[in-house]
Amino acid sequence: MLPDINLLPWRDLRKQQIRQHFFVTLAVYAVVTFGMVSAAWFWVSSHHNAQSDRNALIQREINQLQTRLTQFSRVDGQREVLESKIALVDSLQQQRRNVVSVFNLLPKIVPQGALLDTVDYRAGYVVITGKAKSNALVSELLENLETNSDIDQEKVHSIDRDDDEVLLPFRFHITFYLKTFVSPELALEESTNG
């Protein structure tokens, strides 16, 4: 007969050791896994925060550049306004030559013995009205107009004799175009703030 050997406590002890070893290993793996997941989470979180900081920096730089671009567009608008004002001033300075040309021309064409009552000047056209001692002086005035190279389109509107006037009985009304006229080049102003 076989001796009675009880192997159950040994098996129970072995099962308990295996179970303990399993739970210890499971706990170690859980701790290691938790550590690795935590490390990965911290790593991803730090990279996410670093990228968010970089994005915020880039956004600040973009906002600053947009502000500068807005200032540039405002300055560009101011520059355009100034350029249009400079063009206006240049045009007005060129216009000054027109008046000077008329005043230089009048003594050359008006003979002695003729008197100008009015001189009207618009867009290169000069309208003169006046009086003369004789019809010959009015003819000399017309001849001076026709022979002058700076004058074009001379036209006599009227030559009248005023019998009540003793000294200067002949009245005349003449128009002509000044060839040296410089027309203004005024740009139409768009909506400006200045």
Span 62-116, pLDDT tens digits: 999 999 988 888 888 899 999 988 988 887 787 777 778 888 888 888 888 888 8
The fold adopted by the segment(s) 111-178 is Gyrase A; domain 2 (3.30.1360)
Higher pLDDT, 13 or 39: 39
Q: What is the pTM of this model?
A: 0.49
Q: Which of 116, 122, 120 is nearest to 95 (CA)?
A: 122
Both tokens of 151, joined, read: 């004058």
Q: What are the residues whose beta carbons fall under 8 Å from the beta carbon of 52, sequence distance 6 or more? A: none
188, pLDDT greater than 60: no
**How high is the pLDDT of residue 194?**
44
Span 109-164, pLDDT tens digits: 888 888 889 988 887 888 999 998 888 888 888 888 888 888 888 888 888 888 88
- Partnered with residue 130 across adjacent β-strands are 116, 172
Both tokens of 57, joined, read: 């920096």
Cβ-contact 182, 94 below 8 angstroms:
yes
52, pLDDT greater than 50: yes
